């Protein structure tokens, strides 16, 4: 029954072809015949904590918000910024002042025009302590004037460095030049909010019937934990070019269950469980896809005072990193086309290519040889191993398999013992954040498509540096990069130093492996953030 | 009897309060909090959020405010994980779902289970008995986390008869698979309890007496054996009913019903204290209530029992 799906598709195609021809619309640009039912159904792992643009905090929630609302700018199929509500934007020479010109026909779903004031309100709302948004930090990250003070409660939200010059002009003042500020306003936190509606309904403004939005879709049904439905917004400025009429999000917690329902044609898009990509690619070559993702999988090494002495020796760290056969992990465990990583920042990051490091050019046999030698130099050998290291990871089959593989490799090649500690998510985060580990599984995904979001973790002051690695040379390079015209050089140098010193153990760069119904076209395969807009998709008749 | 029921209900109040306190203590002893995330929040942002939810107060104050909210306004507080919703809202949406499929599954499991068990006992050591025992054993070997994917593979993917998940406001097509998946193993347990209990009863002296009196077998079973044989079944059914109507994590997760069962586990993992407590109180209150119902049923089944 592997081909059951194709069979059903063929039958359906037969019925359609036999039907009256007048019902068939075609795509205005490509001329492809469009399916009659323009519905797109996708799967989410869990219910999202919020679908309020200023409070949304997860990837799945952002997908919903991106379709219900429209920010100043959008990203296209390649991930480049394109006009959204703003048609033009420019930065001052020092990149500290950004001015956006809003389109005249942008409207809320209740017919009211979208004005610069709606953005000012939204951004103030995100920073306002009364909103208590977890993403208040994003406004701070954007370096908007007074953001930090407002979050700290020292200033009124109205003092935020953003103002409506007139209905169509938004001006933003930053504390320092941010060259990639245009990328940052494609993020959900910066989307406009309808003040009158929020003031009328309070927290319940996000319910269907209450919610007013300015995106290509409006919320029509929301049963948390089960389904969410959006329908085309007739008030959207570009509504005539929106082909998908209905977008449905289903919550399916179990990955395999989601895959079965994809096979049964109940879902158009779902992620592929770890290890199953090769099989699915063979069975469904036109549906199974793997694209690079802006995330890095690695092990933190505890270099703080609570960390083991042995790991403070860079030779031991390097030996552990070298002895880890990444090819076994990406090919036999993950099997989703993930590239093995020898440096931290993913190669798919825009404007960045990883520096070539020694380990990458060697064969695994050479790496193992070097690892053994380094251990010997550090005074350890098979008869004299360092005390066992504790490796913590959060509960997940894939993390467990990788941890087992790593501990086996270290044991066989270096005689190093590792105790594996599987912890429930919040417990694990707490342990990691408090340096209660020797080695810890970790992953980092870029907040925006630029290398600084990754390399910052290697710096001493970073709050996310859970390994407490510290290297003044790297810190200096990071500061230098902030004002550089071509920061790639500094980023590469930081990575090279970090690899030399084994600040952490990079393992692989993520890919996004998913099943997409071949009838759905317009998917942004080249967009590394995989930010899709249902308004750009369409379903062809089959 | 009435005073007994009132007494039991009054005892329930301190029991529930104790439950809340223990729950609170357990939750706060677990590492992390509702706003622990992979990307630690800047301290100021964290402080703003904690102030919003009263988490900056001492624990006794939190427990007190929580209890006062429940008693005076029947308000179980806002959810920590679902930022736009409160606990009342979440329970109002999720509980009817699990109540629906749980009750149907309960009735199905009880009726089929008891019938199978009793039949097997009456036809002890016949082919019918073997089939019934075999069926219950295999059903028990198919717990819901095995049943659920099998049902979806067969009825959704292969046959295309029923939707593989969702609830759609409780339309019948959506209810069938969750009910079957949930009922199977309970049905097997009920059948096995009913069978062994009926076998034991049928060997009792009073049944021999009844038969010796020359009563027809039908009367022996329905009039004399049935009531005492059902005692162990009833004591199993009390807590089982509560477990079934408060939902099953597995069923909710596999079938995306939006029910309350999954929230019980998710809220613990998310450290969503208020949802966790709300569901615990609901669960506790229902357990107390249905244990009482089971006790009252005992008295009806067994005239020897007096309260």
DSSP-assigned letters across all residues of A501-539: HTSEEEEEEEEEEEEE-TTEE---TT-TT----GGG-EE
- Cα separation, A228 vs A218, in Å, equals 11
- Nearest-CB residue to A252 (from B41, B82, B256): B256
Say if residues A532 and A368 touch (Cβ distance below 8 Å).
no
By residue count, chain A amounts to 542
- Cα separation, A429 vs A395, in Å, equals 12
Determine the distance in angstroms separating the CA of A346 from the nearest CA of chain B, rounded to an integer. Answer: 18
Helix residue ranges per DSSP H, B203-221 = 205-212, 217-219
Q: Counting Cβ atoms within 10 Å, is residue A171 exposed (0-12), middle (13-18) or buried (19+)? A: middle
Say if residues A126 and A201 touch (Cβ distance below 8 Å).
no
For each of the domains in chain A, give its residue range(s) and CATH number, in order of start.
Answer: 9-262+517-539 (3.90.76.10), 293-512 (3.10.105.10)
What residues contact B290, with CB distance under 8 A and at least 6 apart? B238, B239, B241, B242
Q: Determine whether the interchain pair B157/A264 forms a contact, defined as Cβ–Cβ distance below 8 Å.
A: yes
Mean pLDDT over the full length of chain B: 88
Q: How many CB atoms lie within 10 A of CB A338?
A: 25
Residues of chain B with pLDDT under 70: 247, 307
Say if residues A195 and A121 touch (Cβ distance below 8 Å).
yes
Interface of A with B in 369-428 (CB under 8 A): 424-427
Which chain B residues are closer than 8 Å to A46 by Cβ? 266
Q: Which residue of A has its CA nearest to B90?
A: A224
Say if residues A118 and A195 touch (Cβ distance below 8 Å).
yes
Q: Which residue of B has its CA nearest to A394?
A: B38
State the Cα angle at B46 between B42 and B48, rounded to 5°: 120
Tens-level pLDDT at each residue, chain A (542 residues): 344 443 344 444 444 444 444 456 888 888 899 999 999 999 998 888 899 999 998 889 999 999 999 999 999 988 889 999 999 999 998 889 999 999 999 999 999 999 999 999 999 999 999 998 888 989 998 999 999 999 999 999 999 999 999 999 999 999 988 888 998 999 999 999 999 999 999 989 999 999 999 999 999 999 988 999 999 999 999 999 999 999 999 999 888 999 999 999 999 999 998 889 999 999 999 999 999 999 999 999 999 999 999 999 999 999 999 999 999 999 999 999 999 999 999 999 988 999 999 999 999 999 999 999 999 999 998 888 999 999 999 988 899 999 999 999 999 999 999 999 999 888 898 899 999 999 999 999 887 888 998 999 999 999 889 999 999 999 999 999 887 888 899 999 999 999 999 999 999 999 999 999 999 999 999 888 889 999 999 999 98
- Cα separation, B261 vs B249, in Å, equals 5
Residue of A523, A521, A522, A495 lying closest to A509 (CA atoms): A495
**Residue A376, token pair as written in the block:** 């010997």
The answer to whether A10 contacts chain B (CB < 8 Å) is: no
Say if residues B278 and B76 touch (Cβ distance below 8 Å).
yes
A389-394 and A439-445 as β-strands: parallel, antiparallel, unpaired? parallel
Q: Determine whether the interchain pair A137/B42 forms a contact, defined as Cβ–Cβ distance below 8 Å.
A: yes
Half-sphere exposure of B281 (CA within 13 A, CB side): 25
Q: In what order do the strands lie in the sheet with A217-223?
A: A217-223, A227-232, A246-251, A39-44, A269-271, A504-516, A288-301, A439-445, A389-394, A418-423
The answer to whether B195 contacts chain A (CB < 8 Å) is: no
Q: Which residue of B has its CA nearest to A264?
A: B157
Q: Determine whether the interchain pair A226/B167 forms a contact, defined as Cβ–Cβ distance below 8 Å.
A: yes
Q: Which residues pair with A389 in a beta bridge?
A: A418
Determine the distance in angstroms separating the CA of A429 from the nearest CA of chain B, rounded to an integer. Answer: 6
Q: Which residue of B has its CA nearest to A261?
A: B164
For testing the chain B interface, which of A257, A262, A462 should be mutated: the one with the most B CBs within 10 Å? A257
Determine the distance in angstroms separating the CA of A302 from the nearest CA of chain B, rounded to an integer. Answer: 17
- Nearest-CB residue to B256 (from A57, A137, A250): A250
Which chain A residues are closer than 8 Å to B258 by Cβ? 223-227, 251
Interface of B with A in 88-107 (CB under 8 A): 90, 93-94
Say if residues A208 and A218 touch (Cβ distance below 8 Å).
no
Interface of B with A in 12-51 (CB under 8 A): 30-33, 35-42, 44-45, 48-49, 51
Say if residues B132 and B126 touch (Cβ distance below 8 Å).
no
Determine the distance in angstroms separating the CA of A187 from the nearest CA of chain B, rounded to an integer. Answer: 17
**Signed CA dihedral, A223, A226, A230, A231: sign only:** negative
Q: Any idea of the CA torsion for B259, B261, B266, B269, to the nearest 10 degrees?
A: 170
For residue B28, the model assigns a pLDDT of 80
Residue of A138, A132, A112, A129 lying closest to A193 (CA atoms): A112
% of chain B at pLDDT higher than 70: 99
CB pairs under 8 A between A and B: 148
- Cα separation, B3 vs B14, in Å, equals 18
For residue B290, the model assigns a pLDDT of 87
- Nearest-CB residue to B45 (from A8, A137, A250): A137
């Amino acid at each position: 029954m592997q081909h059951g799906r194709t069979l059903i598709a063929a039958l359906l195609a037969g019925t359609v072809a036999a039907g009256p021809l007048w019902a068939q619309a075609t795509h205005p640009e490509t001329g492809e015949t469009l399916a009659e039912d323009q519905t797109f159904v996708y799967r989410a792992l869990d219910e999202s904590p919020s679908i309020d643009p200023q409070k949304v905090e997860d990837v799945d929630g952002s997908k919903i918000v991106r379709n219900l609302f429209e920010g100043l700018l959008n990203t296209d199929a390649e991930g480049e910024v394109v006009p959204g509500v703003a048609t033009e934007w420019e930065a001052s020479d020092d990149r500290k002042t950004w001015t956006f010109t809003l389109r005249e026909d942008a409207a809320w779903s209740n017919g009211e025009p979208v004005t610069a004031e709606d953005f000012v309100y939204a951004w103030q709302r995100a920073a306002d302590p009364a909103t208590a948004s977890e993403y208040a930090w994003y406004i701070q990250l954007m370096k908007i004037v007074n953001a930090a003070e407002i979050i700290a409660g020292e200033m009124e939200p109205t003092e935020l460095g953003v103002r409506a010059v007139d209905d169509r002009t938004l001006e933003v003042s930053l504390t320092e030049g941010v060259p990639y500020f245009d990328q940052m306003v494609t993020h959900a936190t910066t989307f406009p909010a309808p003040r009158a509606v929020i003031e009328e309904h309070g927290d319940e403004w996000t319910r269907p019937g209450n919610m007013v939005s300015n995106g290509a879709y409006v919320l029509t049904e929301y049963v948390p934990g089960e389904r969410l439905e959006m329908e085309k917004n007739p008030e959207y400025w570009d509504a005539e070019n929106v082909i998908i009429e209905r977008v449905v999000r289903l919550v399916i917690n179990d990955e395999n269950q989601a895959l079965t329902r994809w096979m049964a044609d109940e879902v158009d898009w779902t992620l592929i469980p770890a290890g199953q990509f090769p099989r699915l690619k063979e069975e469904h070559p036109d549906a199974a896809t793997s694209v690079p993702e802006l995330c890095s999988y690695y092990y933190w090494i505890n270099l703080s005072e609570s960390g083991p002495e042995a790991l403070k020796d860079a030779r031991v760290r390097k030996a552990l990193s070298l002895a880890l056969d990444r090819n076994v992990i990406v090919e036999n465990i993950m099997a989703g086309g993930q590239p093995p990583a020898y440096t931290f920042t993913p190669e798919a990051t825009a404007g960045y290519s990883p520096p070539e490091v020694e380990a990458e050019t060697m064969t695994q046999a050479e790496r193992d040889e070097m690892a053994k030698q380094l251990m010997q130099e550090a005074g350890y050998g098979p008869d004299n191993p360092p005390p066992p290291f504790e490796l913590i990871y959060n509960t997940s089959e894939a993390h467990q398999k990788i941890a087992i593989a790593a501990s086996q490799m270290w044991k066989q090649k270096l005689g190093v013992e590792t105790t594996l500690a599987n912890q429930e998510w919040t417990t694990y985060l707490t342990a990691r954040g408090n340096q209660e580990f020797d080695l810890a599984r970790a992953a980092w995904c870029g907040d925006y498509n630029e290398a600084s979001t990754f390399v910052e973790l290697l710096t001493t002051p970073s709050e996310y540096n859970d390994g407490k690695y510290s290297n003044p040379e790297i810190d200096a390079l990071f500061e230098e990069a902030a004002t550089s015209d071509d920061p790639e050089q500094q980023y590469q140098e930081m990575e090279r130093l970090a690899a030399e010193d084994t600040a952490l153990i990079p393992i692989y760069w993520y890919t996004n492996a998913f099943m997409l119904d071949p009838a759905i076209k317009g998917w942004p395969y080249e967009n590394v953030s995989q930010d899709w807009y249902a308004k750009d998709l369409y379903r062809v008749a089959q | 009897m009435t005073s007994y029921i009132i007494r039991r209900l009054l005892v329930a109040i301190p029991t529930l309060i104790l439950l809340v306190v223990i729950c609170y203590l357990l939750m706060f002893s677990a590492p992390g909090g509702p706003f622990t995330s992979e990307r630690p929040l800047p301290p100021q942002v964290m402080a703003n959020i904690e102030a919003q939810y009263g988490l900056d107060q001492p624990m006794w104050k939190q427990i007190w405010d929580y209890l006062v909210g429940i008693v005076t306004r029947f308000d179980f507080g806002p959810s920590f994980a679902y930022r736009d919703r409160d606990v009342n809202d979440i329970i109002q949406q999720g509980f009817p779902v699990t109540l629906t499929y749980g009750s149907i599954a309960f009735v199905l499991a009880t009726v089929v289970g008891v019938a199978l068990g009793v039949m097997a006992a009456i036809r002890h050591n016949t082919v019918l008995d073997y089939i019934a025992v075999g069926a219950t054993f295999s059903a028990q070997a198919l717990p819901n986390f095995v049943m659920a994917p099998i049902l979806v593979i067969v009825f959704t993917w292969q046959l295309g008869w029923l939707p593989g998940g969702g609830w759609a406001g409780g339309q019948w097509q959506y209810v069938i698979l969750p009910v079957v998946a949930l009922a199977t193993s309970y049905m097997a347990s009920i059948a096995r309890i009913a069978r062994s209990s009926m076998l034991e009863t049928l060997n009792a002296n009073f049944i021999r007496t009844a038969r010796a009196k020359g009563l027809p077998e039908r009367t022996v079973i329905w009039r004399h054996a049935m009531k005492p044989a059902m005692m162990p079944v009833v004591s199993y059914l009390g807590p089982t009913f509560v477990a079934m109507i408060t939902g099953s994590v597995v069923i909710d997760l596999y079938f995306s019903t939006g029910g309350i069962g999954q929230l019980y586990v998710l809220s613990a993992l998310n450290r969503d204290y208020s949802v966790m407590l709300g569901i615990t109180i609901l669960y506790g209150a229902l357990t107390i209530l249905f244990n009482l119902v089971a006790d009252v049923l005992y008295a009806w089944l067994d005239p020897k029992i007096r309260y």
